[in-house]
């Protein structure tokens, strides 16, 4: 039976399954009544997929907008129908520069870092989940249709070549939400005049969350019947909002906020901001949720259920 399981599992998603399938498996193994994730990974992609259980699902949306870091494995000299290894090769090209000359190759790849770092425009790929008239673009693509798409502006915070063994190279990409790494790989290939596609993608970071505490799906399955083992993988709900500044409330202030009332609170600083709120001391068991602090007044934004808060406080 589903139980009151609340928290976050930093799943290291394997290749070959959808994000939703991975979430469903984790939900079942933990016996949670609700589950969600903070941003889809394609079936071919691996790496960090934060799975939110129970009350943590209330905060999954916040990380959909978070910056992300990937390791992208790119193969130069070939273009595919999908921009990745799942598509058919539609064009092959040889480089116009000498790839066996280390200095020449380094210079060319150095140009790429300068060209694609910062704010850039991308045209979303046809093989994407973006919708047109209620239907995902990939459905049009599978039917042989190509629709006009509007370019979008995204931000590439940093690029770093991790390894190069031409025609394959691994690129570390730190980027804003909405960045299509497949499209980035294709655009880099066009810039170099050789074409390219993605043959591997591994997400290393989502916002402040990293793979350092990641757990494999196999490990989750192995410990499905061991409550103590599962607890080692389950981070508290407030792990999702650690990038926010915290605020402690007295019991009286916390009760008023719980009732949906605005609460005058003094704190350092004058900027309006979203805060993570605790009843008493800043400990995960005292976490209440998030609230907006504006002009000396706290406005409730997203609070965990009172039943869960009471349970946490009495444990």
pTM of the shown model: 0.90
Distance CA 8, CA 123 (A): 33
CA distance 210 to 175: 15
Domain membership of residue 70 (yes or no) is no
The answer as to whether 74 is a domain residue is no
Q: What gap in Å lies between CA 89 and CA 124, rounded to an integer?
A: 20
Residue-range definition of the domain harbouring residue 229:
7-65+208-237
Report the domain count for the chain. Answer: 3
Report the CATH number at residue 182. Answer: 3.30.2350.10
Per-residue pLDDT at 2: 40
Is residue 105 domain-shared with residue 163, that is, in the same domain? yes
Task: Give the residue among 146, 197, 191 at the shortest CA–CA distance from 44.
Answer: 197
Asked whether residue 126 is assigned to any structural domain, the reply reads yes
In a shared domain, residues 56 and 106: no
Q: Does 79 reside within a domain?
A: no
Same domain, residue pair 193 and 216:
no
Looking at the structure, do residues 181 and 107 belong to the same domain, yes or no?
Answer: yes
Report whether pLDDT(248) > 50.
yes
Give the mean model confidence (pLDDT) for residues 64-84. 95
pLDDT at 62: 82
Residue 222 above 70 pLDDT?
yes
Residue with the larger pLDDT of the pair 131 and 94? 94
Q: What is the pLDDT of residue 1?
A: 33
Q: Clarify whether residues 48 and 105 are in a common domain.
A: no
Q: How far apart are CA 87 and CA 248, in angstroms?
A: 53
Residue 285 burial class via C-beta count within 10 angstroms: exposed 0-12, middle 13-18, buried 19 and up: middle
* Domain contains 195: yes
Q: Could you tell me if 128 and 194 lie in one domain?
A: yes
pLDDT, position 234: 94
More confident residue, 67 or 311: 67
- 75 is a domain residue: no
- Based on the domain organization, do 185 and 104 belong to the same domain? yes
Tell whether 135 and 194 lie within a shared domain. yes
pLDDT one-digit tens code per residue, 129-145: 677 877 777 777 777 77
Q: Could you tell me what percent of the chain has a pLDDT over 70?
A: 96
CATH of the domain at 250: 2.30.130.10
- 154 and 107 together in one domain: yes
For residue 147, the model assigns a pLDDT of: 80
Q: HSE of 90 in the Cβ direction (CA atoms, 13 Å)? A: 11
Residue 123 resides in a domain: yes
Q: Which of 12, 42, 187, 238 is catalytic?
A: 42
Residues 150 and 107 in one domain: yes
186 plus 216 within the same structural domain: no
What pLDDT score was predicted for residue 271? 74
Q: Are 292 and 243 in contact (CB under 8 A)?
A: no
How much is the pLDDT for 112?
97
Q: What does the radius of gyration of the chain's CA atoms come to, in whole angstroms?
A: 23
Inside any domain, residue 54: yes
- 11-66 pLDDT, tens digit each: 999 999 999 999 999 999 999 999 999 888 888 899 999 999 999 999 988 888 89
pLDDT digits (tens, 9 = 90+) for 98-157: 999 999 999 999 999 999 999 999 988 877 667 787 777 777 777 777 888 888 999 999
Shared domain for 176 and 128, answered yes or no, is yes
What pLDDT score does 315 carry? 60
Residue 42 falls in the annotated catalytic set: yes
């Amino acid at each position: 039976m589903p139980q009151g399981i609340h928290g976050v599992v930093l799943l290291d998603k394997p290749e070959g399954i959808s994000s939703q399938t991975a979430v469903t498996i984790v939900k079942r193994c933990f016996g949670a009544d609700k589950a969600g994730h903070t941003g889809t990974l394609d079936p071919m992609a691996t790496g960090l997929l934060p799975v939110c259980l129970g009350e943590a699902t209330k905060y999954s949306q916040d990380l959909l907008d978070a910056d992300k870091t990937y390791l992208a494995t790119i193969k130069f000299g070939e273009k595919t129908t999908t921009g990745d290894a799942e598509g058919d090769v539609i064009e092959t090209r040889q480089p116009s520069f000498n790839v066996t000359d280390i200095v020449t190759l380094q210079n060319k790849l150095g140009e790429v870092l300068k060209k694609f770092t910062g704010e850039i425009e991308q045209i979303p790929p046809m093989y994407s989940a973006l919708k047109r008239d209620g239907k995902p673009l990939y459905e049009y693509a599978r039917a042989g249709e190509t629709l006009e798409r509007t370019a979008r502006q995204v931000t590439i915070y940093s690029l770093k070549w991790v390894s190069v063994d031409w025609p394959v190279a691994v690129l570390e990409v730190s980027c804003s939400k909405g960045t299509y790494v497949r499209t980035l790989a294709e655009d880099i290939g066009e810039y170099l005049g050789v074409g390219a596609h993605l043959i591997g993608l591994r997400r290393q970071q989502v916002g402040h969350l990293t793979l350092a505490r990641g757990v494999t799906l196999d490990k989750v399955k192995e410990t499905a019947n061991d409550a103590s083992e599962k607890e080692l993988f389950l981070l508290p709900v407030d792990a999702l909002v650690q990038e926010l500044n915290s605020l402690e409330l007295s019991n009286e202030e916390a009760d008023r906020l719980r009732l949906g009332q605005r609460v005058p609170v003094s704190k350092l600083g004058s900027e309006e901001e979203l805060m993570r709120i605790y009843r008493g001391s800043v400990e995960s068991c005292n976490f209440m949720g998030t609230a907006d602090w504006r002009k000396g007044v706290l406005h409730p934004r997203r609070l965990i259920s009172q039943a869960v808060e009471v349970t946490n406080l009495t444990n």
